Amino acid sequence: MNLHLSTAARRILAAAAVTCAAALAPAAALASPGAGAAPAATTPPCATSGLDVWLNTQGSGASGKTFYFLEFTNLSGRTCHLFGYPGVSGVTLSGTQIGSAASRYGNTLRTVTLANGATTHALVGIVNAGVIPPAQCHPVTASGLRVYPPNQTQSRVVTYPFPACSASGRIYLFAGPVGFP
């Protein structure tokens, strides 16, 4: 079953994302010294192998969803850049994907240049699986998130147990672009 969000649901999601972003942006700006800079022509993309990917668990909830900053810290020893959306999905302990991958939201894409040791983020929303009828959700507990940094084919698993929907087509995760807001 493919989930199409109504205009009202999209507005609620957008308002929740903006509210969460506004509340968390001052701390994120201090933690992201590389954010907002355009990369030099020779700045390579950040490879997954050079990134520490982690979840800031100080989330903010709204409308049955909780939003978190998914953090990307460059530990490669050199400057690199990120551009676009991370790929995000819930996974089991064995790494098997649970249900559908995250839906993308937001359309403000920007290149984020990360010096070695610098951090940027993407906003990730997790729907409270308890607000979805069990027959439509098939609730299970995810052991974490599989994260593909933007434009990369290798992933990292971020450990963070949460209620997830195993039903195919049910969207319970949302991912925004890196560097937003």
pTM of the predicted model, to two decimals?
Answer: 0.77
Q: What is the pLDDT of residue 181?
A: 67
CA distances in angstroms from 120 to 3, 82, 88, 149, 172, listed in the order given: 30, 9, 16, 11, 23
Confidence of residue 63 (pLDDT cuts 50, 70, 90): confident
Pairing of the two strands 87-91 and 80-83: unpaired
Residue 95 corresponds to which tokens in the numbers above? 């790494």
Q: Is the pLDDT of residue 30 over 50?
A: no
Q: What is the pLDDT of residue 115?
A: 98
> Average model confidence (pLDDT) for the chain?
83
**Do 54 and 69 form a contact (C-beta atoms < 8 A)?**
no
**Do 158 and 72 form a contact (C-beta atoms < 8 A)?**
no
| Of the candidates 71, 87, 85, 82, the residue with the CA atom closest to the CA atom of residue 43 | 82
**Distance of alpha carbon 135 from alpha carbon 1, whole angstroms:** 12
Q: What is the pLDDT of residues 114-129, one digit of tens each?
A: 999 999 999 999 999 9
Q: If you write DSSP's letter for every residue of the chain in order, what string do you get?
A: ------HHHHHHHHHHHHHHHHHHHHHHHHH-TTTTPPPPTTPPBPPGGGEEEEEEEEEEEETTEEEEEEEEEE-SSS-EEEES--EEEEE-TT--EESSPPEE------EEEE-TT-EEEEEEEEE-GGGS-HHHH-EEEEEEEEEE-TT-S--EEEEEEEEEE-STT---EEEPPTT--
Q: Is the pLDDT of residue 49 over 50?
A: yes
